Structure 1
């Protein structure tokens, strides 16, 4: 026996249509994030090639720039690299004049790694095209919407870190 009231059919159809629309939008967002990830990986690869840096070296350079001065153990954890692999990365970055290792002022037995500031302009120059395009895109979006987008991206980055940590067994 049908338990719906005569006026319920349009409400049910509207709810189903809303659910389909939401699924389509969610899938578009997922697809968009995958596309962004791929395009950023390709851009980073090109930037690394111009700077004569391996992909892992460029990623570590970015992490050091964002979170440094940083200790090698913390950097290895953030980069998802084995400490021995990170040592090779840091050796290459130091030889290339990108970073410097200094004693940790709070623990003289430990070192900190930091980017040589004068070299950051070289990297920024290669990302200038994307930075300019992002400025143009953001200029066309209202502040409230930018706030929602920024929050979404931060939450997505956290979810990505959590998924990475889970796969790494952390």
Structure 2
């Protein structure tokens, strides 16, 4: 294969990967929307809850920054999620004047139950790959997520 042909083949493969990632994003968005609807949550609520679960406990201002939302908008969303029993606002142990957000464990089980089919499907899919292949896939997805985060930050600063 010539260098030109190799370059074209590689570009096609890279485009296939990008198309697959866009397809995955779309399918996960639709899944999240359906699950959010079953839980009577609004679009974006699951994303905010995921940020709190992964990075928490977080203060409301830090969450607003992470999510790219205006603090006043965040206050309304947090009021609604707290009223729905999804999260709590607690005094920060290091500074009693500040508040931190934490997910309510008993409600998280409801979310996990609705994602159980997808989790099983991913387990089944991963069973088809070797440990070495899974290492490459995990590395790629981690680096792709990092690139997305970097571009989000870059957009915030332009």
Q: Under a length normalisation based on structure 1, what TM-score does the superposition of the two structures give?
A: 0.89
Q: Give 1:4-153 correspondences, 5 Å limit.
A: 14-153=2-141
Q: Structure 1 CA distance, aligned partners of 2:77 and 2:47?
A: 10
**Residue ranges of structure 1 left out of the alignment (5+ in a row):** 1-12
* Count of equivalent residues: 158
Which SS does the other structure have where 2:90 is aligned?
Answer: strand
1:14 deviates by: 2.0
Q: Structure 2 CA distance, aligned partners of 1:78 and 1:143?
A: 33
**Residue ranges of structure 2 left out of the alignment (5+ in a row):** none
Question: 4+ runs of 1 displaced by more than 6 Å?
Answer: none
Checking the alignment, whether the CA contact within 8 Å between 1:99 and 1:115 is kept in structure 2 is yes
Q: Structure 2 CA distance, aligned partners of 1:146 and 1:129?
A: 20
Which SS does the other structure have where 1:16 is aligned?
Answer: helix
